[in-house]
A and B are shown apart, each in its own frame.
Chain A
């Protein structure tokens, strides 16, 4: 009897310690799952419709094609034979297993600011996802970019790894936002313009970047080109649901919202919004809008009236949560009309989120509007209702048509 009681006690103790260990590991894996969402690993490492993290769709960089690697724990084709040190090196230093240099399309300059705890959590999670055998040849770059060691020089010029240091003068929320935006969420990877070498122009932080035939608009507080007109809650609504009273996420940002930001905690969303509201824009004076009587504007107005106003409304107001507002929209007033030309030509569909699953779509107008007509309607949109931005030229439309046809 005594013996049995002792045995029971031992078993109970073993169970408690085992479950204690398990819950500790579970918590870390679960935390890592959230960190993978914050870092939006799936954006690149999961092909649309493909197995999670088993390798992504090709990235078109100005230097050539790169294919995001398989980061499942498959030993042959994934990172199953990596050590934690290899993984940490990839994120912190841009150097993978065996000293292999990564290209900064993998945003290690951003991830290098992540805390050791966050990277450890991510590792815990990535070791527990399903291994998928899928060999990916990441490096499709032409010579000389195909030589990975060129990145040693690049890193010397453009990369100084350092963990995020909070600014004691700012609130804890601001600092959390700064950490998220610059670290795991790597917003600047798209939204900050790049130098000829493909490095962030840090003096133009978040003032619009161009990649993969999309423009990631200015998300500073600039009142004209940026989101100065958005309140913090508008930013939160956009990131959480994909839409706010002004705009709807589409293109790559729709994927960011669908895969990542809709799953963020409200605290993290508020933190990023607080930080974003504190980012100064260029603050340059808006250009003078084109005269409403300009022949280009008259032609553009005719096209807008006939083809656009049914959804976006003749005043450019759109309809909240359904059709984006064009009046005073950052993407409309930005210097670079890439995204505007693109959505007019090929159409666009809003991303689906749990909160807003409807996915309203814009039809393609490539079949109906010629290059000159797309140019004039966009010039009209960019210079009406308080908007002011350089006119779009037919040559720009022609170029985009050719790019999208490839």
Chain B
């Protein structure tokens, strides 16, 4: 615990802090650049997402990566509907996600006071996701080693892997360092399966094909009146789609 003083939000405190925020915001606003005449424009102006080059792990060690790949393949197993989480690149996605601002909670307030939150409020602690993964994966590895004669999670039979994960999910395996870790992992795995492929997961838009999601499109005028008919276009990534290549089909 970083702070021992209970935090009691009061009406007065709320009002004064809100007023301060508004004051600061309005001062900042007064310094904003002003434009008159035409809108500013520059050739080649674009702020595209920068995909990280593949072929390496950015945050995970080789052991951690192997373990996460095994976990995401149980959370999203390959079946007749789609490829599994490992092949879809969910572990790659999580690794790159952790390498960015998300991994260090760079854009979150992570100072005290820390209070126990409701389950719907999510994680309330000070640790950033990278640290939570490190601790959570270590705790899980330790648990598996002790229960399965020194084996690694990735080497267990699928049924055993499922049991370990179910126990973790149900809180039957109590490791303080890993509190809430299962939900984090599940959430990030789903993000990896359904996020745009340029972020490393959702290989070949497998998640979107599964759902029938058309991807990053923004014009449906030709189709809005075609009721009760399937949307004819394949999904589209920010980076494009295979049909853009000449002779793709």
CA of A173 to CA of B248, assembled, Å = 56
The 0/1 profile, CB within 8 Å of B marked 1, for residues 354-386 of chain A is 000101010110111100110010000000000
CA of A395 to CA of B66, assembled, Å = 44
Asked if A295 and B247 sit within 8 Å, CB to CB, the answer is yes
Chain A positions 79-121 with a Cβ under 8 Å from a chain B Cβ: none
Q: Is B30 an interface residue (CB 8 A)?
A: no
Q: Which residues of A contact B238 (CB under 8 A)?
A: 368
Asked if B246 and A376 sit within 8 Å, CB to CB, the answer is yes
Asked if A347 and B243 sit within 8 Å, CB to CB, the answer is no
Residue on B with the closest CB to A296? B246
- In the complex, what's the smallest C-beta–C-beta distance from B47 to chain A, in angstroms? 9
Given the known inter-chain contacts A359-B38, A373-B240, please indicate yes or no for A314 contacting B248, CB distance below 8 A: no
Q: Is B219 an interface residue (CB 8 A)?
A: yes
Asked if A352 and B222 sit within 8 Å, CB to CB, the answer is no
CA of A369 to CA of B37, assembled, Å = 32
CA of A303 to CA of B222, assembled, Å = 16
Given the known inter-chain contacts A314-B222, A373-B240, please indicate yes or no for A349 contacting B246, CB distance below 8 A: no
Given the known inter-chain contacts A364-B44, A366-B44, A366-B46, please indicate yes or no for A352 contacting B38, CB distance below 8 A: yes
Q: Which residues of A contact B45 (CB under 8 A)?
A: 347, 363-364
Q: Which residues of A contact B239 (CB under 8 A)?
A: 368
Q: How many residues of B sit at the interface, in one of the four size bands?
A: 20 to 34
Asked if B246 and A347 sit within 8 Å, CB to CB, the answer is no
User: Could you list which residues of chain B lie within 8 angstroms of chain A, going by C-beta atoms?
Assistant: 37-39, 41, 43-46, 48, 217-219, 221-222, 233, 236, 238-241, 243-249
Asked if A306 and B46 sit within 8 Å, CB to CB, the answer is no
Contacts between chains A and B (CB distance < 8 A), count: 72
Asked if B46 and A364 sit within 8 Å, CB to CB, the answer is yes
Q: Which residues of B contact A366 (CB under 8 A)?
A: 44, 46
CA of A299 to CA of B242, assembled, Å = 9
Q: Is A305 an interface residue (CB 8 A)?
A: yes
Asked if A347 and B43 sit within 8 Å, CB to CB, the answer is yes
Residue on B with the closest CB to A352? B38
Offer 17 A-B interface pairs, CB within 8 angstroms, sorted by A: A295-B247, A298-B249, A302-B244, A303-B244, A306-B240, A306-B241, A309-B222, A314-B222, A349-B38, A357-B38, A361-B39, A361-B41, A364-B43, A364-B44, A364-B45, A366-B46, A373-B240
Asked if A306 and B217 sit within 8 Å, CB to CB, the answer is yes
Residue on B with the closest CB to A359? B38
Q: Which residues of A contact B222 (CB under 8 A)?
A: 309, 314
Which of A305, A310, A346 makes the CB contact (< 8 A) with B44? A346
Asked if A310 and B41 sit within 8 Å, CB to CB, the answer is no
- In the complex, what's the smallest C-beta–C-beta distance from B194 to chain A, in angstroms? 19
Q: Which residues of A contact B233 (CB under 8 A)?
A: 305
Asked if A295 and B46 sit within 8 Å, CB to CB, the answer is no
Q: Which residues of A contact B241 (CB under 8 A)?
A: 302, 306
Q: Is A156 an interface residue (CB 8 A)?
A: no
Given the known inter-chain contacts A306-B241, A310-B218, A352-B37, please indicate yes or no for A299 contacting B248, CB distance below 8 A: yes
Asked if A306 and B38 sit within 8 Å, CB to CB, the answer is no
Q: Which residues of A contact B236 (CB under 8 A)?
A: 306
Q: Which residues of A contact B39 (CB under 8 A)?
A: 349, 359, 361
Q: Which residues of A contact B219 (CB under 8 A)?
A: 309-310
Q: Which residues of B contact A404 (CB under 8 A)?
A: 43-44
Residue on B with the closest CB to A346? B43
CA of A309 to CA of B44, assembled, Å = 20
Asked if A299 and B245 sit within 8 Å, CB to CB, the answer is yes
Q: Which residues of A contact B41 (CB under 8 A)?
A: 347, 349, 359, 361
- In the complex, what's the smallest C-beta–C-beta distance from B155 to chain A, in angstroms? 43
CA of A361 to CA of B39, assembled, Å = 9
Asked if A298 and B243 sit within 8 Å, CB to CB, the answer is yes
Q: Which residues of B contact A309 (CB under 8 A)?
A: 219, 222
Q: Which residues of A contact B46 (CB under 8 A)?
A: 363-364, 366-368
CA of A81 to CA of B224, assembled, Å = 69
Q: A295-B246, A299-B243, A347-B45 are in contact. List 18 more A-B contacts (CB 8 A).
A: A299-B245, A299-B248, A306-B217, A306-B241, A306-B244, A310-B219, A313-B221, A345-B44, A346-B44, A347-B41, A347-B43, A349-B38, A349-B41, A359-B41, A364-B46, A368-B238, A368-B240, A369-B240
Q: Which residues of B contact A313 (CB under 8 A)?
A: 221
CA of A210 to CA of B104, assembled, Å = 52
CB-based closest 4 A-B pairs = A310-B219, A346-B43, A302-B243, A349-B41
Residue on A with the closest CB to B246? A299
CA of A406 to CA of B88, assembled, Å = 40
CA of A314 to CA of B44, assembled, Å = 24
Residue on A with the closest CB to B41? A349
Given the known inter-chain contacts A306-B240, A352-B38, please indicate yes or no for A372 contacting B44, CB distance below 8 A: no
Residue on A with the closest CB to B222? A314
Q: Which residues of B contact A349 (CB under 8 A)?
A: 38-39, 41
CA of A296 to CA of B46, assembled, Å = 27
Q: Which residues of A contact B217 (CB under 8 A)?
A: 306
Q: Which residues of B contact A363 (CB under 8 A)?
A: 45-46
Q: Which residues of B contact A346 (CB under 8 A)?
A: 43-44
